[in-house]
DNA sequence: ACCCGGTTCCAACAAAAGTTAAGGACGCGT
DNA sequence: ACGCGTCCTTAACTTTTGTTGGAACCGGGT
């Protein structure tokens, strides 16, 4: 994948949540990006490491997670092409969580140094990226609510719909069908339940004719029931630059 | 409380996590702040509202929370004097959660407009505030892990220690004794459990001689056991400006 | 002193989720 | 085609957590 296409994906996504000036677009197009390929299930940055670059997902799915003393892992967010999952490392240099690939991924790295310079030069871009990190934060808030208050079937439905709404924006939803390349083990880690309970919940949703999950693919069977179960309100995604 | 004292508290806290230039301190000291008093258990900004100011806690405890369709509420964070819990509203104008007081509180309001101007004038301050929102975000990540992966007693211990570490910084910890002005109902909402289960957990920790919780006050009985149970690693608070 | 409302506390029972264990499906490499 | 490993699937059993309902406690107001 040419690094131009990567930049285009980023700009497309940023446009969604912020208004961008033309000269700022040029700045982003001129950003030096070094591209690297990662296999599936591989760490990109680890908890405790000091980051010197931010990484832009050109292709593939990634997750952020934290592992606690007893070895249990919690998935904090799922990331898709066009996103910069570790933008926070720009000012919080030592990582407090892991970033790793789910599928084979193409990542574009931009050094903190060039990003800092860019911000000094164009405050508009700084604000745009700041806003991006704030949306990230809003998504964490919703994730807390999901894990803390919803029964397991609703949790699963909610994570699915959030992912779908974000995939839709980059043209990756085909009718009632989209990619969610997690194993049941990983779904458990995202929802705060065990893998066998994740399996139970998936089975239940299938038996009730709501949604089908099969080898990393979601197929919605009954959109009405699906939405009702998920209790999803997209406001927290802040997908429109309403100032 | 004079608004000078409020500014001092803010500066003291910001110093902890960022290096501040002298001229930036002057800028903050010159910030126009309008002070208002709120009774306990009162909404400051509500989910869905459009904010025009950010609020600095001069005195009192506040929480951020979200309420879902079935009426259940999840507490997302607890806030103490010197913090700006809704800094995110600067760029995410329509609130995606509630901010409300726990105790009677004195709040200082700073308009978005003057903050935006300040940022254009001194990028150093902008970065400092940006970093502040990123730490906020890091705390949400840890909160997800807490609610998602730790057994209820560990959850409670973890929230208690996080609060204590933050209170310590503003000189509000007296030995093994500090304020945590939540009812058991609210503790349940913070941990993602019911009030009666919160009660069970509190009782258990008391019986095991680990920690005592009584009318909004925490007394540590066995620091060793307390820490071990909480599985607390303060890195995520990013309390030192290690660049 | 009294009452009142909100907490706190507790017990008995129900439901949800974790644990353990084991068989089956599938993809991959040889 | 075969074996191997990973994931999926399920069942039986245990533990944790939720639900319901009620009693005791406490502080503030009259």
pLDDT tens, position by position, A72-106: 999 999 999 999 999 999 999 999 999 999 999 99
Q: Is the CB of A215 under 7 A from strand D?
A: yes
Residues of A whose CB is below 8 A from B19: none
CB-based burial, A187-217: b 16+ in 10 Å, e otherwise: bbbbbbbeeeebeebbeebeeeebbebeeee
A125: which 2 tokens? 């871009």
Distance of CA B45 to the CA centre of its chain: 15
> What is the pLDDT confidence band of residue B2, given thresholds at 50, 70 and 90?
low
- Chain D, protein-covered positions (CB within 7 A): 6-12, 16-21, 27
Residue B1 has pLDDT above 60, yes or no: no
Q: What CA–CA distance (Å, rounded) separates A62 from A64?
A: 7
In the CATH scheme, what architecture does the domain B3-144 have?
Sandwich (2.60)
C-alpha dihedral, A157 to A159 to A160 to A163, nearest 10°: 160
Asked if A181 contacts A222 with a C-beta cutoff of 8 angstroms, the reply is no
pTM attached to this predicted model: 0.97
**Torsion angle, CA of A101/A111/A135/B145, rounded to 10 degrees?**
50
The neighbour count for residue A5, using CB atoms within 10 Å, is 13
Does pLDDT of B13 surpass 90?
A: no
Q: Name the architecture of domain A3-139.
A: Sandwich (2.60)
Taking the C1' atom of every nucleotide in all shown strands and the CA of A216, the nearest one is D7
Tokens 């699963």, located at residue:
A156
Rounded percentage of chain B residues whose pLDDT exceeds 70:
98
Closest Cα to residue B80, out of B155, B176, B9? B9
The share of chain A scoring above pLDDT 70, in percent, equals: 98
Across the A:B interface, residue pairs with CB atoms under 8 Å apart total: 134
What's the order of all strands across the beta sheet hosting A105-111?
A: A34-38, A105-111, A53-59
- In angstroms, the CA of A60 and the C1' of C28 are apart by 22
Residue A1 has pLDDT above 60, yes or no: no
- Give CA angle at A190 (A186, A194), nearest 5°: 65
Mean pLDDT within B20-47: 93
Q: Looking at residue B49, what DSSP letter applies?
A: P
In chain A, residues with a C-beta closer than 8 Å to the C-beta of B70 are: 231
Residue spans of the domains in chain B: they are 3-144, 150-237
CB contact under 8 A, B66 and A145: yes
Nearest CA in chain A to B117: A123
DSSP letter assigned to residue B13: H
- B147 falls in which pLDDT band (50, 70, 90)? very high
Contact A141 B142 (CB under 8 A): no
CA dist list (Å): B41 to A55, B104, B184: 42, 8, 14
Considering CB atoms only, which of B64, B88, B236 is closest to A134?
B88
Model confidence over A172-227: pLDDT tens digits? 999 989 999 999 999 999 999 999 999 999 999 999 999 999 999 999 999 999 99
Residue in A72, A96, A137 nearest the CB of B235: A96
Q: Distance, in angstroms, between A181 CA and closest chain B CA? A: 21
> What is the mean predicted confidence (pLDDT) over B24-45?
93
Is the separation of the CB atoms in A98 and A67 below 8 Å?
yes
Task: Give which of A78, A115, A135, A145 to mutate to test B binding, by max B Cβ within 10 Å.
Answer: A145
Q: Percent of chain B scored above 90 by pLDDT?
A: 85
From chain B, the residues in CB contact with A159 under 8 A are none
Question: Would you tell me how many other CB atoms lie within 10 Å of the CB of residue B59?
Answer: 18
Task: Encode pLDDT of B41-76 as tens digits.
Answer: 999 999 999 999 999 999 999 999 999 999 999 999
- Tell me the pLDDT tens digit for each residue of B86-141: 999 999 999 999 999 999 999 999 999 999 999 999 999 999 999 999 999 999 99
Contacts of B94 in chain A (CB under 8 A): 235, 238, 242
Query: Closest-CA residue in chain A for B69?
Result: A231
pLDDT tens readout for residues A101-149: 999 999 999 999 999 999 999 999 999 999 999 999 999 999 999 999 9
| A3 has a pLDDT exceeding 80 | no
Domain range A150-237, CATH architecture: Sandwich (2.60)
Do B74 and A236 lie within an 8 Å CB cutoff? no
Q: Which candidate from A73, A88, A144 shows the least CB-CB separation from B134?
A: A88
Inter-chain touch B137–A137, beta carbons under 8 Å = yes
Of all protein residues, which has its CA closest to the C1' atom of C27?
Answer: A215
Distance in Å, residue B147 CA to nucleotide D12 C1': 28
Whose tokens are 């095991």? That residue is: B208
Tens of pLDDT, residue by residue over A24-74, are: 999 998 999 999 999 999 999 999 999 999 999 999 999 999 999 999 999
Q: How far is A1 from chain B (nearest CA, A)?
A: 31
Give the pLDDT confidence score for residue A5 in this predicted structure: 78
Place A243 in a pLDDT band, splitting at 50, 70 and 90.
Answer: low
* Confidence check: pLDDT of B24 > 80: yes
**What angle (nearest 5°) sits at the alpha carbon of residue A72, between those of residues A187 and A97?**
85
| DSSP output for B137-192 | HHHHHHHHHHHHHS-HHHHHHHHHHHHHHHHHHTT---SSEEE----HHHHHHHHT
pLDDT for the residue numbered A13? 87
| A2: pLDDT strictly greater than 70 | no
DSSP letter string, A169-224: HTT---SSEEE----HHHHHHHHTS-HHHHHHHHHHHHHTTSEEEETTEEEES-HH
Mean pLDDT, residues B77-88 taken together: 97
pLDDT tens, position by position, A144-170: 999 999 999 999 999 999 999 999 999
């Amino acid at each position: 994948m040419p690094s131009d296409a990567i930049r285009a994906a980023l700009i497309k996504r940023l446009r969604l949540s912020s208004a961008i000036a033309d000269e700022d677009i040029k700045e982003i197009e001129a950003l030096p990006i070094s591209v690297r390929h990662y296999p599936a299930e591989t760490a990109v940055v680890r908890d405790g490491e000091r980051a010197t670059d931010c990484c832009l997902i050109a292709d593939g799915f990634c997750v952020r997670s934290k592992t606690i003393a007893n070895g249990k892992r919690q998935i904090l967010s799922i990331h898709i092409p066009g996103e910069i999952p570790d933008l926070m490392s720009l000012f919080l240099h030592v990582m407090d969580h892991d970033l790793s690939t789910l599928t084979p991924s193409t990542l574009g790295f931009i050094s903190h140094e060039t990003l800092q310079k860019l911000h000094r030069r164009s405050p508009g871009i700084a604000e745009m990226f700041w806003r991006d990190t704030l949306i990230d934060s809003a998504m964490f808030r919703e994730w807390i609510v999901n894990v803390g208050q919803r029964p397991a079937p609703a949790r699963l439905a909610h994570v699915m719909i959030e992912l779908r709404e974000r995939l839709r924006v980059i043209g990756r939803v085909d009718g009632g069908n989209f990619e969610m390349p997690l194993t049941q083990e990983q779904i458990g880690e995202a929802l705060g339940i065990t893998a066998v309970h994740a399996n139970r919940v998936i089975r239940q949703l299938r038996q009730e004719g709501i949604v089908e999950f099969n080898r990393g693919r979601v197929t919605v069977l009954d959109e009405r029931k699906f939405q009702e179960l998920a209790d999803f309100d997209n406001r927290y995604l802040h997908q429109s630059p309403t100032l």
